Amino acid sequence: MDQVITCLVVDDEPFARDLMENYIARVPYLQPVAFCENAFDAINELQRQSVDLLFSDIQMPNINGIEMIRSLSNPPFVIFTTASKEHAIAGFELDAVDYLVKPISFERFLKAVNKARNNISQRLQQSSVTEPVKPKPTPSNHLFVKDNNKLTKVLFDDIYYVEGMKDYIKIVCKDKSIITYMRMKVMEDVLPPDQFMRIHKSYIIRLQAIKSIMGNTVEVINGQTVIISKASRQDLKRLLGIANYNDDDE
């Protein structure tokens, strides 16, 4: 029986994602785990689960495929898919398995997948010799976000709170604030739930950054205040271990 290869597709074009889904379904040993429309969603999935092979478009809004791969500390094998050849050199500098130019035929897709399959098998054979016991991955303590024209590393411990602003978010940290294009739901999924809580549709707060709670507001240790919804107050109370906090008294 063929070894299963888990794979993830990221492409901002729905037609391209559908085509890749169709191609993947025709290869018995490929197992898709997610089809993402942008780099942020893909990074989120890669942080949540292990993936053997990544099919990545290059020309995507906000963060392109090259920038996304460079931001990953331990990227999977990558096959780039793009409508242009101009980024081919940069792609191969990142040790990409292959570089597929759209429109992609199934024959060309299968050739790239077989190449990736061989690379994955070789890595597994080497690991079985040099690493008999594979250590558990270290939990991430940071994320990368687009900050102007660069990807900036943000430590979870430096975040005070996150504010949603339509299609953008503002990440308020100890020494600066970053405004970046991202949905609040994506940010909520990336942040560790034992350290952060979404207390309002527009706010996510780091629990250790809370100074006080009064009524429908939370005071942050930097002196600013954010809104908390009534539905979230009891959950926040439980997370903070507050036994004598009574909403009826407010």
Instruction: Assign residue 188 the CATH number of its domain.
Output: 2.40.50.1020
In-domain check, residue 26: yes
For residues 98 and 154, state if they share a domain. no
pLDDT band at 146 (very low <50, low <70, confident <90, very high): confident
Structural domains of the chain, count: 2
For residues 70 and 156, state if they share a domain. no
> Roughly how many angstroms between the first and final C-alpha of the chain, as a whole number?
64
* pLDDT score recorded for residue 247: 53
Helices (H), the chain: 14-25, 39-48, 65-71, 88-93, 106-130, 184-190, 230-240
pLDDT at 17 over 90: yes
In-domain check, residue 189: yes
Q: Which domain holds residue 178?
A: 142-249
In-domain check, residue 135: no
- CB-CB contact of 167 with 183 (8 Å): yes
For residue 87, report the phi and psi dihedrals to the nearest 5 degrees.
-100, 10
- CB-CB contact of 221 with 209 (8 Å): yes
pLDDT at 135 over 70: no
For residues 112 and 221, state if they share a domain. no
Give percent of the chain with pLDDT exceeding 70. Answer: 87
Mean pLDDT is lowest, of 102-111, 193-202, 214-223, 240-249, for: 240-249
For residues 231 and 188, state if they share a domain. yes
In-domain check, residue 137: no
In-domain check, residue 155: yes
In-domain check, residue 136: no
pLDDT tens for residues 217-241?
A: 999 999 999 999 988 888 888 777 7
For residues 108 and 18, state if they share a domain. yes
* pLDDT score recorded for residue 1: 41
Q: d(Cα 79, Cα 7) in Å, to the nearest integer?
A: 10
Q: What is the largest CA-CA distance in the chain?
A: 69
For residues 156 and 222, state if they share a domain. yes
For residues 62 and 115, state if they share a domain. yes
What residue type is assigned to position 163 of the chain? E
